Amino acid sequence: MSSRVITIAGIELELAEDGAGAPLLMLHGAGGFDARHPVNALLSKQRRLICPSHPGFGKSALPDWLDSVDDIAHVYLELLDQLGLQTVDLIGCSVGGWIAAEMTTKAPERFTKLVFVGPVGVKTGPPDRLDVPDMFALPADELNRLLFHDPIKMVRDPASLNDEELTISVRNRETLALIAWEPYMHNPKLKHRLHRVTAPALFLRGASDGLISDSYLRSYAALLPKAQVATISDAGHIPHLEQPEAFAAAALAFLGT
């Protein structure tokens, strides 16, 4: 994928693109964006795939004034303006799904179809219980078992990472804590705004996802007027990385080519 730095609202954003055709904006999860993942090539065969690194993730800058998912949603709406995109299809993964949901409530007319992949962002359960396990409190091995269907295959040994990769990994985690710690993994106001979303939406979940339960996903989807739910086998919280072919097939079939 070609990569460049673009300035939005005074923020230097890392932006990767590939492919041609109808634009498809894909927003990464807590692990950040990696152009080497096979799912990118599968999607860009049929679409113009646009993948920014969120402020504070990857090599994107993090200004002092930005401290919420809502802030990032406004930045990305301005990104669409700068790219000259009046309407796009949108894929949001995990915290990227939360950003996507915020964007679509602010400007529903700009989004044609939506794919939410293990999204966070709303509170659907009782107030005294977390809907999503506390990622910051879990030991790494336990968290990996919640994230992946096959952790042994998917988790890289930290000792194999170079200095730049280690820096990005720590920076991603630090920024996630900044934007999603309190209130934990949700915006209390978001669920009262999702009725504004007019685009058809597909909510996808890996069958082995230990972070996003099936009941949470269905409760989330029920907040949108035109939503459906599907599951990808042999995948955890990041099905687009564990099962890229199955994920790309499901997403592109829903989005249309």
Q: Which residue has the tokens 């949700």?
A: 186
2: amino acid identity, one letter: S
Q: What is the pLDDT of residues 41-62, one digit of tens each?
A: 999 999 999 999 999 999 999 9
For 71, residues 6+ apart whose C-beta sits below 8 A from its C-beta are 55, 65
Average pLDDT over residues 105-126: 97
Kindly tell me if the per-residue pLDDT of 257 is higher than 80: no
Q: CB within 8 A of 130, min separation 6: which ones?
A: 184, 185
Instruction: With a cut of 80, say whether residue 147 has pLDDT above it.
Output: yes
Coil, helix or strand for 85?
Answer: coil
Mean pLDDT value of segment 82-105 = 98
**Looking at residues 220-237, what average pLDDT do you find?**
98
* pLDDT digits 0-9 by tens, 121-132: 999 999 999 999
What percentage of the chain reaches a pLDDT higher than 70?
100
Distance CA 209, CA 183 (A): 22
**Domains in the chain, start-ordered, CATH in brackets?**
2-255 (3.40.50.1820)
User: How far is Cα 16 from Cα 1, in angstroms, rounded to an integer?
Assistant: 6
Instruction: Look at residue 98 in the predicted model and tell me its pLDDT.
Output: 98
pLDDT bracket for residue 159 (50, 70, 90): confident
- Cβ atoms of 7 and 15 within 8 Å: the answer is no
pLDDT in tens, 2-48: 999 999 999 999 999 999 999 999 999 999 999 999 999 999 999 99
pLDDT in tens, 180-213: 999 999 999 999 999 999 999 999 999 999 999 9
| 159 DSSP 8-state letter | G
Whole-angstrom Cα distance, residue 74 to residue 168? 23
| Phi, psi of 105, rounded to the nearest 5 degrees | -80, -25
